[in-house]
């Protein structure tokens, strides 16, 4: 009989993230090849895990068409060389796709139905723009269920500024600038590179190269430069390219295991799942979604926000992160938050981003045995939020000296 099990994040890797569009490094690379490359890298890095023991593969994509269609979890598993006995499926929760891949697989592991699973996501926003072929039901507008521009994420970010005037453009600019600076400092210190899987890329002239770093970083960002940027979502608005995540291509994958399987195979998990939650909010202000989902996840874990020692929050927009920090009384520049930068600098390939947050939190846990709990959280299009609380297996109970 199956038994309730702990769920562990054993490992995670990702491709470098590229700028979407014809000038981006992945313009001539298929979306499914990106996630396959990441999956091969994950399995190579965890050579002690028998491939035929993987119980399922969940791969998310927001725009499931073309080279992001055809049941990605299954097709990617076959293309990555996993045994044909390994099943797979595709999943979609827009920006929280990979996060939902993880929590869905975690549910099966926790119930004892699965021992090992692969979960991740991919988004090739150059090939498949958000909402490209979507056909929203006309009832959304005729019955005024949502605003006509609820799918314009930049407009939803402007509305957070409207609702919370104290979350000023200057605060958002500063947060965006610091994200760029922290990301570059993390690169300079070699924090990011160990979890990146290089990808061979073909340029427009036919020459081959190797993608080894996130392409969209702007470490030279200054407050003066940010002040001069246009506000594309509203005349005289407050959201700019400098306080938004760029359109991005990339893939992420993770290896999850139950307690018995981890022990049997001698695995060294990087995190233990404590709780997770998703919540809905008005689509017009989707950016506040992580507030109720985090409150729900904390309740389920029996914790408070003060128990969280590290935060990895997806920077869809600076104001969206600021709204969560403000709600919980956390300073804009709190060192616990996105200490290696975030999506404003590295990019946000929609359905892939949830696992990037987990990869960075896991790496930080390894350096911080004084921290017991960490949070990964993100907003989701059409008015949702997702939050996952993790425990650090390296925790030693000792307080860090300031």
Q: Which residues contact 364 (CB under 8 A, 6 or more apart)?
A: 310, 312, 339, 340, 371, 374
Hunting for tokens 């709990």 — which residue is that?
A: 373
Q: Which residues contact 82 (CB under 8 A, 6 or more apart)?
A: 39, 43, 51, 54, 57
Return the half-sphere exposure (C-beta side, CA atoms, 13 A cut-off) of residue 56.
Answer: 18
Cα gap 310→338, rounded to integer Å: 8
φ, ψ of residue 93 in degrees (nearest 5): -140, 45
Active-site residue 379, yes or no?
A: yes
Among 161, 166, 348, 394, the active-site one is 348
Cα gap 211→230, rounded to integer Å: 30
Q: Which residues contact 275 (CB under 8 A, 6 or more apart)?
A: 297, 298, 300, 301, 388, 389
Helix (H) or strand (E) holding 251: strand 248-258
Cα gap 342→45, rounded to integer Å: 24
- At what angle are helices 31-45 and 72-79 packed, to 10 degrees? 60
Q: Which two tokens stand for residue 83?
A: 């045994």
For residue 340, the SS3 value is coil
Task: Note the maximum CA span of the chain.
Answer: 63
Among 124, 128, 161, 379, the active-site one is 379
Among 95, 124, 128, 161, the active-site one is 95
For residue 203, the SS3 value is coil
* Strand segments (E) across 263-368: 271-280, 308-313
- Active site residues per annotation: 95, 348, 379
């Amino acid at each position: 009989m199956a038994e309730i099990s702990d769920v562990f994040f054993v490992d995670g890797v990702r491709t470098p993230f590229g700028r979407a569009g014809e000038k981006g490094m992945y313009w001539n690379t298929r979306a499914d090849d990106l996630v396959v490359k990441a999956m091969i890298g994950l399995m190579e890095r965890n050579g002690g895990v028998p491939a035929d023991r993987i119980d399922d593969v969940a791969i998310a994509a927001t725009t499931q068409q073309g080279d992001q269609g055809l049941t990605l979890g299954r097709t990617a598993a076959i293309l990555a060389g996993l045994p044909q006995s390994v099943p797979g499926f595709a999943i979609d929760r827009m920006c929280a796709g990979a996060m939902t891949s993880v929590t869905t697989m975690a549910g099966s592991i926790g119930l004892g139905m699965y021992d090992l699973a692969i979960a991740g996501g991919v988004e090739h926003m150059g090939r498949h723009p958000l909402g490209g072929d979507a056909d929203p039901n006309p009832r959304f507008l005729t019955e005024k269920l949502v605003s006509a521009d609820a799918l314009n994420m930049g407009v939803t970010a402007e509305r957070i500024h409207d609702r919370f005037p104290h979350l000023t453009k200057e605060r958002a600019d500063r947060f965006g600038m610091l994200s760029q600076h922290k990301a570059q400092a993390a690169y300079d210190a070699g924090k990011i590179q160990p979890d990146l899987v290089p990808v061979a890329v073909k340029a427009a002239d036919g020459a081959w190269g190797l993608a080894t770093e996130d392409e969209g970083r702007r470490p030279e960002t200054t407050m003066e430069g940010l002040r001069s940027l246009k506000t594309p979502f509203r005349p005289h608005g407050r959201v700019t390219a400098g306080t938004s995540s760029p359109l991005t291509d990339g893939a992420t994958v993770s290896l999850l295991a139950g307690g018995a399987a981890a022990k049997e195979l001698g695995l060294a998990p990087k995190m233990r799942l404590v709780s997770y939650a998703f919540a809905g909010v008005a689509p017009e202000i989707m950016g506040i979604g992580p507030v109720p989902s985090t409150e729900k996840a904390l309740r389920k874990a029996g914790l408070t926000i003060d128990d969280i020692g590290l935060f990895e929050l997806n920077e869809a927009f600076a104001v969206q992160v600021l709204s969560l920090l403000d709600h919980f009384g956390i300073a804009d520049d709190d060192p616990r938050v996105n200490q290696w930068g975030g999506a404003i600098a590295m990019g946000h390939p929609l359905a892939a981003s949830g696992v990037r947050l987990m990869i960075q939190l896991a790496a930080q846990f390894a350096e911080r045995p004084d921290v017991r709990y960490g949070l990964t959280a993100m907003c989701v299009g059409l008015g949702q939020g997702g939050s996952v609380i993790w425990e650090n297996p390296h925790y030693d109970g000792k307080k860090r000296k300031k």
